[in-house]
Amino acid sequence: MLDLCTLFNSLQCPDNSVDENMRFSAQPIPGYERHRLGKDKQETPSLLISVSDSTENQRPIPIRLEYLSIQYDVDCRISYPDGSIEEGYFTIIRCTGSEKVLHDYFLRIIGAIVISLGPTPTRIDVAQAIDKLVELFRAMTEKPRKSIQGLWAELFLIARARKTATMVAAWHVTPNDCYDFSAGNHRIEVKSVAGRVRQHHFMLEQLCPPADTNVLIASLFVEHAGSGTSVMELIESIRLRISKHPDLVLQFDRMIALTIGKYWRYASEERFDRELAEESLAFFEPCAIPMINPSLPTGVSAVHFKSDLTGRPTANLVHYRAMGGLFQAALRR
């Protein structure tokens, strides 16, 4: 995985006292030397992409979001650490926020994008990558679809899994899916609670799967801890494990952005007790969970209820591991 954070921190701000028109201090990205990582006089990061079929004609309309701006085929003047100057046309993807946590987030995401683009992308390649990037940054201004605690619990299960890539690939397509993880006929739903009583909210559909579908409910206690593990630390450990699969990294980043929304600032701030989560983690079959009568009156749907799993029998994990697939990936010995 590209370490663009270290590369960015090594860049000096452009010296406007020498040339007031100087816009970027930049360096080629190792392994992708046609592209540049830039720093402007506001010390914000930019990705400068050299497109193999670039042209001044028919430039796409620039894009401006709250934390992101994109300009196509811009005539750039770049200074390098050795004092040399480069002029050329680049598509500029710029982070427009001033917060360091936002800069780090931007640099991590564009690292995966650079790898997926390759050294000589076409305009179509760049357009497709920008569409994905725009979706991520738009999500950062929207209402979160899950609490930080709920997201942390799901990431915890991924981070401790035997096969991280399999778990990420199975992670829900949208945060509102019925189950958190789905692959073939295997499903895993993660439930967390801040207290020490194993009580969780369920949708009736989660405990009444089709006859040919196997479901496990993962239950754990998640409590704040000043010296605990943050969402961002879990994200980084997972991204590192799937770094050889750039498309999967982008899929993972997309799910994070859609789930966390405008709570992204708290991803590094809120910390939870990882040891307690590990100690309390238990898996249950739907049939072991107290529930209401699934035969609902006509016209009744979308039923939610709360169940206490205290004292309920846990699932035979040896049996579920033997099924292979998602269960083998998720369940450690």
Give tens-digit pLDDT for 10-46. 988 876 654 554 577 888 999 998 899 999 888 999 9
Q: Mapping DSSP to helix (H, G, I), strand (E, B) and coil, where does residue 150 land?
A: helix
CB 215 within 8 A of CB 286: yes
Amino acid type, 192: S
Euclidean distance between CA atoms 60 and 124, whole angstroms: 11
This prediction has a pTM of 0.88
Q: Which residue has the tokens 């990582």?
A: 37
Structure letter (DSSP) for residue 257: H
Residue numbers in the chain where pLDDT is lower than 70:
15-22, 52-58, 81, 175, 333
Euclidean distance between CA atoms 8 and 43, whole angstroms: 9
Q: Six-digit token pair at 10? A: 């090594």
- Residue 55 has a pLDDT of 56
Q: Mapping DSSP to helix (H, G, I), strand (E, B) and coil, where does residue 126 land?
A: helix
Burial of 29 (0-12, 13-18, 19+ CB in 10 A): buried
- Residue 247 has a pLDDT of 87
Q: Is 58 left (phi over 0), alpha (psi -120 to 50) or beta?
A: left
- Residue 17 has a pLDDT of 55
CB 212 within 8 A of CB 225: no
Q: Mapping DSSP to helix (H, G, I), strand (E, B) and coil, where does residue 194 land?
A: coil
